[in-house]
Structure 1
Amino acid sequence: MGKPLLLKIIFLFIMPLYISAQTVTTPTAEAPESTVKYPQFQFKGLFQARYLQALEDGVDVMGLHHSTGDVVQSTFDIKRMRVGLNTKLSEATEVVILVNLADFKSDPKGKVLENAYVKYTFNKYFAITGGQFRPAFGVEELVPVDIIKSFDFSNQYYEFGKNGWTSFQIGASASGAFDLGKIPFNYAVSVLNGNGKDQEKDKDNGKQYSTRLVFTLSKEHKINLGLNAGSGKVFKQDVFALGADITSDFKLNDKFTFDLQVEYKQGTNHNLYFALPVDQRTANVADYQMRGIYFLPNLRYQIDYKKLTSLELSCRYERFDPSYKIDSNVRQTYTPMISLEFGKAYTGRIEMGFEIDRFDRNIPDTSIYNDNLFIIQFQCRL
């Protein structure tokens, strides 16, 4: 996809925002700020521990194939131990800090600190965020990992994170919400360094720009359509990313609800391109493009029996190719899971299921190898 076309797409995204912003009126002022005591503090936390059992011969619990030697195929693991603090300095100003102490179990360089940003809200139509945060570029970026309907985020989420579009990034963002006629509409526009979290500085002088628009097509069934576009430069090379997603939540009866997420992404895999030796890659970074799609259906049964709140069944199917133009090797991942919820909003949660990976081609002694992993995960959040 050429840069002029991508810029036109982003222009079309932003134009409705500009036009609507000219027509909105300032909302009626609420109670005087002096009646509220500031600063206000809210502490948050998340603990996730897992038991992992690899079921494929010669593949360890991390998905790495070993042609010789012993293989660790069962282990207990602490996935996350997050501690966070949200501070409201005023009605409009919020400072957010989030760290993952579980990252200390390995080399913590470039890890640990996740959120570190300030957000100033002028009104519901316009807010500015600056620091290290998760930029809006898809469904998963807007949902905390402790309430997703699977064990973890998708493969494409992490790959697009390595390329600077998703996960925790350093930069600035403008966001807001208003109505386009009878359709509720949300937007976010971000400019990012694009080289991940906890970095001392940008890797080059290039920046990555992205836009996300969300249209609420049905309030009753919570049907939302999301559109994403991004463009930028990495080491003077033009890069891009595109995506579309749709979510829905249907109440089948008093006990059963069914929700669905579908998301597609495509973009330049410049992380792969610059990781290759110069003599083993083409001259054009655009030759290396990744794309993926996943479906995540989830059926929830409301129990409310003593401390047990609900039972959930989900099975995510994902198809992802890190370089579909050159040396294509599609990875298909199936993640069936059953979840028991205790308390409200996943205060306590026990999950059990499998992560099944299938590649078009196995590469021995790498993580690009067919894998069957059994997982039991326990979490507590506050």
Structure 2
Amino acid sequence: MNKPLLIRIAFVFFLIPLFTNAQTAETQKAVDSEDGVKYPQFQFKGLFQARYLESFGDNVDVMGVHHSTGDVTQSSFDIKRMRVGLNTKLSEATEVVILVNLADFKSDTKGKVLENAYAKYTFNKYIAVLGGQFRPAFGIEELVPVDIIKSFDFSNQYYEFGKNGWTSFQIGASATGNFDLGKIPVNYSVSVLNGNGKNQEKDNDNGKQYSSRLVFELSKKHKINLGLNGGIGKYSKEKVFAFGADVTSDFRLTDRFTFDLQIEYKRGTNHNLYFSLPVDTRTADVADYQMRGIYFLPNVRYQIDYKKLTSLEVSCRYERFDPSFKIDSNVRQTYTPMISLEFGKNYTGRIEMGFEIDRFDRNIPDTSTYNDNLFLIQFQCRL
């Protein structure tokens, strides 16, 4: 019997007694408690993001692609996201989540539109299981919705690790929960994934990717958390891996000023790049193609609460990412200074303005691997 099958069997037998105990507890609670709560309960969510883009790069369009012919679109309006979501609680412990991005209909919809589509069952604070299509926990950004991040969009490394099956929307199953390690609260997550992206009819091979995340709450007052991520698996019969670490903090400087900081490092096999290359141009070992990246995202928030204006935020993310640092290295450095005005609570309304500045060690003409200065104004509404 092979090792991956043994792991799956052990995982199932681990969950059976927990599921049995939880079902008994739920039944008992339903009998003993008459709290008047009716199910199912529905919660609708939505997000609209529209942008104005202007590229100041030399013959670089608003999508970051260089055109040596000079025929290039350097200013454009764009609808980035038009998300509609539904969270349904079938019982106190069971929920189903659906999220679609209608803005994906503006281009080829293959592999797009449907984002979240999963069911979750919470046994207790120690364990909850979910299955379907979701964002597996493998870093800071996977746990934060894009509409409340402190920058225009997720980092370059988030999307690259997503192409390699570790982040972004993936199909599989996961177990999450909380426990205390002495006096330190710990959050954990363990996931088993197809690893070939969202909205796929089936896995494209028999390999699976196994990932885990631990978050240690080191300071409740300053919200200092340490996250550790690790993953192994197989893709097209090749062994792949990824790991990383991250730190978040949130300091209240005065009654109105707060300063928060995110630092995240990731490294892993870039098997997506490896299998995209012609066989005669790549080495025999997929481990020769490894990506790594790190970013720093400091953010200062000033609480205004003047009429409809809630706060002013200033941030500047610096990211250094290399898609293949062992062979044909070409480091991409990205600076993203941004000013954000918040209207209402929890970013109900938000106007953001700033730049995305890309610098490569080596420019490649007629590709997106080219220096660029992109100016953005982004408007969002969420509910």
Superposed pair shares fold, TM > 0.5: yes
| Counterpart in the other structure of 1:104 | 105
Give the Cα separation in 2 of the matches to 1:33 and 1:304: 41
Q: Secondary structure at the match of 1:37?
A: coil
Q: Superposed, which structure 2 residues align to 1:79-94 within 5 Å?
A: 79-94=80-95
| Letter of the 1:110 counterpart | G
CA RMSD of aligned residues (A): 2.0
Give the alignment's TM-score, normalised by structure 1: 0.92
| Counterpart in the other structure of 2:168 | 167
| Counterpart in the other structure of 2:44 | 43
| Counterpart in the other structure of 2:321 | 320
* Alignment of 1:58 onto 2:80: no
Q: Secondary structure at the match of 1:102?
A: helix
Distance 1:72 1:118, change over 3 A: same
Q: Secondary structure at the match of 1:116?
A: strand
* Alignment of 1:300 onto 2:283: no
Q: Secondary structure at the match of 1:35?
A: coil
Give the alignment's TM-score, normalised by structure 2: 0.92
- Report the CA distance between 1:379 and its aligned residue: 0.0
| Counterpart in the other structure of 1:329 | 330
| Letter of the 1:57 counterpart | D
| Counterpart in the other structure of 2:218 | 217
Give per-residue Cα distances to partners, 1:44-64, cap 9 Å, x unaligned. 000000000000120000000
Checking the alignment, whether the CA contact within 8 Å between 1:33 and 1:91 is kept in structure 2 is: no
Q: Secondary structure at the match of 1:62?
A: coil
- Report the CA distance between 1:83 and its aligned residue: 0.1
| Letter of the 1:121 counterpart | T
Checking the alignment, whether the CA contact within 8 Å between 1:211 and 1:230 is kept in structure 2 is: yes
Q: Secondary structure at the match of 2:222?
A: coil
| Counterpart in the other structure of 1:71 | 72
| Counterpart in the other structure of 1:195 | 196
Checking the alignment, whether the CA contact within 8 Å between 1:192 and 1:209 is kept in structure 2 is: yes
Give the Cα separation in 2 of the matches to 1:118 and 1:170: 12
Q: Superposed, which structure 2 residues align to 1:166-315 within 5 Å?
A: 166-315=167-316
- Report the CA distance between 1:181 and its aligned residue: 1.2
Give structure 1 regions of 4+ aligned residues with deviation exceeding 3 angstroms: 25-31
Give per-residue Cα distances to partners, 1:279-322, cap 9 Å, x unaligned. 00000000000000000000000000000000000000000000
Give per-residue Cα distances to partners, 1:82-104, cap 9 Å, x unaligned. 00000000000000000000000
- Report the CA distance between 1:33 and its aligned residue: 6.5
- Report the CA distance between 1:70 and its aligned residue: 1.3
- Report the CA distance between 1:69 and its aligned residue: 3.9
Give the total of aligned pairs.
363
| Letter of the 1:100 counterpart | N
Give the Cα separation in 1 of the matches to 2:100 and 2:252: 36
Give the Cα separation in 1 of the matches to 2:152 and 2:106: 20
Give per-residue Cα distances to partners, 1:310-359, cap 9 Å, x unaligned. 00000000000000000000000000000000000000000000000000
- Report the CA distance between 1:29 and its aligned residue: 6.1
Give the Cα separation in 1 of the matches to 2:52 and 2:151: 15
| Counterpart in the other structure of 1:156 | 157
Give the Cα separation in 2 of the matches to 1:136 and 1:64: 31
| Counterpart in the other structure of 1:138 | 139
- Report the CA distance between 1:34 and its aligned residue: 6.2
| Letter of the 2:212 counterpart | T
Give the Cα separation in 2 of the matches to 1:265 and 1:227: 10
Q: Secondary structure at the match of 1:86?
A: strand
| Counterpart in the other structure of 2:342 | 341
- Report the CA distance between 1:180 and its aligned residue: 1.0
- Aligned-pair identity in percent equals 84
25-34 vs 135-144, which moves further: 25-34
Distance 1:250 1:29, change over 3 A: farther
Give the Cα separation in 2 of the matches to 1:39 and 1:106: 35
Give the Cα separation in 2 of the matches to 1:361 and 1:101: 36
Give per-residue Cα distances to partners, 1:18-45, cap 9 Å, x unaligned. 9xx9xxx999969826621000000000
